Structure 1
Amino acid sequence: LKQTADSLKNFEIVGMGLGDLVWDAMNLYAPYRQAVSNLGMTMFQLMGNHDFNLLYKSITQTDHPADGYGEQNYYQSFGPANYSFNIGKVHVIAMKDIDYDGNKKYTERFTPEDLDWLRKDLSYVPKGNIVFLNVHAPVANNTVAAGGNARNANALFQLLRPYQVHIFSGHTHFYENQLPAPTIYEHNIGAACGAWWAGHVNRCGAPNGYLVVQVKGDDVKWRYKATGCSPDYQFRLYQPGEFESQKDYVVANIWDWDWTYTVNWYEDGVLKGAMQAFDDEDQDYINMVKGKKTGYRTRHLFRAQPSKDAKSVKVVVKNRFGEIFTEEIKL
């Protein structure tokens, strides 16, 4: 992450942690603050379900100042759970969508107080402006068995519709892009820890990493950065026989895929057309958890069946920005 920040020194850079910062260990707040302070950029944070102090049932401060409360350690380290700021033409919001009940029990939702705060905050933002909303739990993830969406997301969408909105979320350890409304794009991003530090990929097969978002005026671009890999590493290819349920196929896992992408394949240098989209469990994740299938089916998988005598297959992926990524395998 620091190497990426150093490579962008010509830009004004800020970072946003999307929650689950300390994994229920309140003594990690101080070392976490120290670690992110050395990244060479201003870091902002928000709360996840693993950032509350489990000793207390009350989520916020009570009428008695001496009482402890769930948000206490986060508040003392980083300030309020809901806040906003402007950078360039973008209004950036960090907002809590974990309603904590105590003892690790919570519901993914926006409280009436949270939505009222957002309504007031947006009243100062001109309609049509760019808004970046950062939350922990997603609002529109459609992945089978991923779950974890904020229950009352429709109330959120009603407030956001007048703006050009990008929602950045985590929580699921599952990469998926969605368009819940014409002006609202959600990036449910793969986690830096992958599948809870079990290995090198998330539950959908996306590598551990983070999203790099670039803004120039009204133009917003993004690219996922896999930890320890080139920025051009945007998909993984499986040879025939490597993907257990698709033994006769070349399979591509394109983690930042959305509906604007084109995914074409070539056999021995000859264009064969578009690869076929399908949903299944990612083989890399299955291998990582030692062959145990879990039902975490991803929708950013594509396949093509080469002929028996084919010598090579090349896959060319073009994203919504016209950027092209290519990988070729020998058969």
Structure 2
Amino acid sequence: MHKINSILFIIFIGLSSVLYSCKDDPTPDPTDDLKITGVSIPSSIDIVANGTITLTGKGFALNDQIHLTSVSDPSKVYVSNVSSVTDQTATFSLPDGVSSGAYKITVTRGDESLALGSLTINIIVGTAIPDVAGMTIKGIVYCDGKGISGVVVSDGYEVTTTNSNGIYYLASQKKSGYVFISVPGNYEVTTSNNIPQFFKRLTGGNTVEQKDFSLTSADNSNHVVLAMADWHLANRNDDLSQFTSNVLPDVNSTINTYLSGGKKVYVLTLGDMTWDAYWYENSYGLSEYLTQLNKINCPVFNLMGNHDNDPYSAGDWLAETKFKNTIGPSYYSFNLGNIHYVVLDDIEYINTGGAQGVIGSRNYNDIIVSDQLEWLKKDLATITDKNTPVVVAMHIQLYRNPTLDTGGSQTSSISLNNGTQLISALQDFKNVHLLSGHTHINYTVEASGSLVEHNTAAVCATWWWTGKNGYAGNHICTDGSPGGYGVWEMSGTDARWYYKSVGYAKNYQFRSYDLNKVQITAAKYAPNSTDAALANAVGAYANANNNNEVLINVWGYDPKWKVEVEEAGKALTVNRISTMDPLHIISYNAKRINAGVKAEDLTFPTGNTAHMFKATASNSTSTLNIKVTDRFGNVYTETMTRPKDFTWSMK
């Protein structure tokens, strides 16, 4: 890379931020005593530290002072004198201490000053990097013009780190088409379409390519990650209006709350942001998804799901090409503060019969393919401190939805085809959290003292059905969890998390049912159908229950939570059970059957979930005090006045 000694650019004074109107006549505004005209400012420039900048404009004078005021920290003001002028230009040197970022530019002369506008400055390194035999990619990772050592760089196959000068080399076959860095903790990269640009695309071939990466210092040791699974945006079921009217405001409100508290905030998707079956039929694919992505008030790290593959392409490699070209790498890692994050693609998309213009069967294997697994091992090998917290994110779950044994204890089994190999790759680390989606339900599996899987329910709930116009008017998943997302609060190496239900406060963590009021009949919930047609979709809820039982659905539950119920100061026995959520039954099952769908043909029927609890009261009208305590000591309560109505809008 050649050294950049000076940059010539034209500065344009905007309409509202300066003293000029926009007109061809260069006559200065009467209030402008400096008589500076014909000036414009670009959005950004790349420049080496202490490089010179030549402004184009009339009326500048020798020794005019150029003030650069940091937008992010207005207390930081850098001053440089104009060192040379012509009738069309003024030149000054970038002052010491200026770092990459946005600045407001002002020119002063004596007691007079004029605001010129704003400019983003990117401090680059003007270092020529020599070729090395056998190395096909080279570059430098830098911040404010200085190389950063120890940064992990990869092409998805080979992994290396930058040297003491921030320089790296890779002997790459360029198969993936890009090179990426594992952004180090307490740094950030720029974003495009709200996507962090931690990767550079390659032209391919045997030619040596130089790809440099610019970092910005950012203290993210205390940060928040929103884990958003299964958006399924497809321009159907009123999904776009539900997303923009309900989900997006909720997400941005959560983000803004943390931002106002001084936290760094990021979104991490967990796959299935789109729906492959409708890419072409509804003209809604990854490019359209970016429109919604851009409305989120923080950077978004993306992860692909099975439905984010191209249904016109047979075979995993071709099918994921659109994701790579539109979004970025399908697997990678990054660091936020002291936490190492790994994003995996655990889908081998087969799509039998797929061809141009023909949607295939969209079948797939849930597996981490061998090349990616080998990359994962290399990436993890760069972390020498095995006490470093690791967050692994992937779409398809490692463990199945837990069940209960005869004693009421939770049991679980591995679901991912090569899940044991993934566990083996992570076994040296003492603190691993695995985030997954795919199921549209919530559950937690603490497989060992060092690995916990958090399967996160869906942003779209039941594929946007229950909130569709004419349906239940709510937003509920197949396990009864409200549609929502996980929130991860990271402080140093400490992690705390909770599930955030869309449209509710963060302390909404359970729903109670008075089972005396829960009887699901066709007359009430599917008047166009019959009880016989409804029977297989409602189970025991078809019958009246006068046993004074209370059912409690605790969607964020794990075995370190506690559920308590009191009646008149007396503790009731609370049993954990596995059963269906009745609100989902009337919100989806009954509504679809009412529309003519057979119970056996329901696409997304209510399923059993083990985060259910039952207690029996002494009578039908007593008030119960429900207390749920999570693993962090947070307490959630409800004073349950009974009888409690069973309705689509119940809380």
Structure 2 unaligned segments of length 5 or more: list them.
Answer: 1-250, 352-359, 404-411, 467-474, 520-539, 591-598, 643-651
**Aligned residues: CA RMSD:** 1.9
Question: Which segment drifts farther, 43-52 or 241-250?
Answer: 241-250
Residue in 2 aligned with 1:107?
365
Q: How far, CA to CA, are the matches of 2:399 and 2:326 in structure 1?
A: 30
What SS does structure 1 have at the residue aligned with 2:477? coil
1:254 matched to 2:554 = yes
Q: Is the 8 A contact 2:310 2:322 kept in 1?
A: yes
Equivalent residue in structure 1 for 2:447, among 168, 180, 193: 180
When residues 274 and 86 of structure 1 are mapped into structure 2, their CA distance, relative to the original with a 3 A threshold, is farther
Deviations 1:5-33 (A, max 9, x none): 11110211111111111101274312321
What SS does structure 2 have at the residue aligned with 1:73? helix
1:169 matched to 2:474 = no
Equivalent residue in structure 2 for 1:275, among 568, 574, 599: 574
Equivalent residue in structure 1 for 2:417, among 151, 174, 186: 151
Q: Is the 8 A contact 1:161 1:181 kept in 2?
A: no
Larger Rg: 2
Deviation at 1:38, TM superposition (A): 2.1
The TM-score with structure 1 as length reference comes to 0.92
Give matches, 1:93-132, under 5 Å. 93-102=342-351, 103=360, 104-125=362-383, 126-132=385-391
Deviation at 1:159, TM superposition (A): 1.0
Deviations 1:42-64 (A, max 9, x none): 1011111101111111322xxxx
Q: How far, CA to CA, are the matches of 2:508 and 2:570 in structure 1?
A: 22
Give matches, 1:154-233, under 5 Å. 154-163=420-429, 164-199=431-466, 200-233=475-508
Give matches, 1:1-331, under 5 Å. 1-9=251-259, 10-24=262-276, 25=279, 27-60=284-317, 69-102=318-351, 103=360, 104-125=362-383, 126-143=385-402, 149-163=415-429, 164-199=431-466, 200-244=475-519, 245=540, 247=545, 248=547, 249-268=549-568, 270-291=569-590, 294=605, 296-308=607-619, 310-331=621-642
Q: How far, CA to CA, are the matches of 1:309 and 1:87 in structure 2?
A: 52
Question: Which segment drifts farther, 129-138 or 301-310?
Answer: 301-310
When residues 187 and 97 of structure 1 are mapped into structure 2, their CA distance, relative to the original with a 3 A threshold, is same
Q: Is the 8 A contact 2:581 2:606 kept in 1?
A: no
Q: Is the 8 A contact 1:19 1:51 kept in 2?
A: yes
Deviations 1:189-223 (A, max 9, x none): 11011121122111111110000100001110001
Q: How far, CA to CA, are the matches of 1:295 and 1:211 in structure 2?
A: 21
Amino acid paired to 2:299: T
Amino acid paired to 1:207: P
What SS does structure 2 have at the residue aligned with 1:181? coil
Q: Is the 8 A contact 2:478 2:606 kept in 1?
A: no
When residues 147 and 205 of structure 1 are mapped into structure 2, their CA distance, relative to the original with a 3 A threshold, is farther
Q: Is the 8 A contact 1:243 1:251 kept in 2?
A: no
Q: How far, CA to CA, are the matches of 2:589 and 2:333 in structure 1?
A: 43
Q: Is the 8 A contact 1:134 1:168 kept in 2?
A: yes
Q: Is the 8 A contact 2:479 2:606 kept in 1?
A: no
Amino acid paired to 1:140: Y
Amino acid paired to 1:136: H
Q: How far, CA to CA, are the matches of 1:239 and 1:304 in structure 2?
A: 10
Deviation at 1:295, TM superposition (A): 6.6
Deviation at 1:263, TM superposition (A): 0.6
Deviation at 1:142, TM superposition (A): 3.1
Q: How far, CA to CA, are the matches of 2:505 and 2:611 in structure 1?
A: 20
When residues 324 and 94 of structure 1 are mapped into structure 2, their CA distance, relative to the original with a 3 A threshold, is same
Amino acid paired to 2:425: L
Q: Is the 8 A contact 2:584 2:606 kept in 1?
A: no
Deviation at 1:282, TM superposition (A): 1.0
Deviation at 1:117, TM superposition (A): 1.1
Q: Is the 8 A contact 1:108 1:148 kept in 2?
A: no
Q: Is the 8 A contact 1:267 1:310 kept in 2?
A: no
Amino acid paired to 1:156: L
What SS does structure 2 have at the residue aligned with 1:8? helix
The TM-score with structure 2 as length reference comes to 0.48
Question: Which segment drifts farther, 240-249 or 17-26?
Answer: 240-249
Q: Is the 8 A contact 2:499 2:509 kept in 1?
A: yes
Deviation at 1:243, TM superposition (A): 4.3
Q: How far, CA to CA, are the matches of 1:243 and 1:301 in structure 2?
A: 15
Q: Is the 8 A contact 1:84 1:94 kept in 2?
A: yes
Structure 1 unaligned segments of length 5 or more: list them.
Answer: 61-68
Deviation at 1:287, TM superposition (A): 1.2
Q: Is the 8 A contact 1:263 1:274 kept in 2?
A: no
Deviation at 1:272, TM superposition (A): 1.1
Percent of aligned positions that are identical: 28
Amino acid paired to 1:138: Q
Q: How far, CA to CA, are the matches of 1:195 and 1:148 in structure 2?
A: 24
Q: How far, CA to CA, are the matches of 1:202 and 1:88 in structure 2?
A: 33
Amino acid paired to 2:563: V
Q: Is the 8 A contact 2:303 2:394 kept in 1?
A: yes
Deviation at 1:309, TM superposition (A): 6.2
Q: Is the 8 A contact 1:141 1:177 kept in 2?
A: no
Q: How far, CA to CA, are the matches of 1:50 and 1:309 in structure 2?
A: 47
Q: How many aligned residue pairs are there?
A: 321
What SS does structure 2 have at the residue aligned with 1:32? helix
Q: How far, CA to CA, are the matches of 1:288 and 1:34 in structure 2?
A: 30
What SS does structure 2 have at the residue aligned with 1:284? helix
Q: How far, CA to CA, are the matches of 2:573 and 2:397 in structure 1?
A: 30
Amino acid paired to 2:455: N
Q: How far, CA to CA, are the matches of 1:233 and 1:309 in structure 2?
A: 25
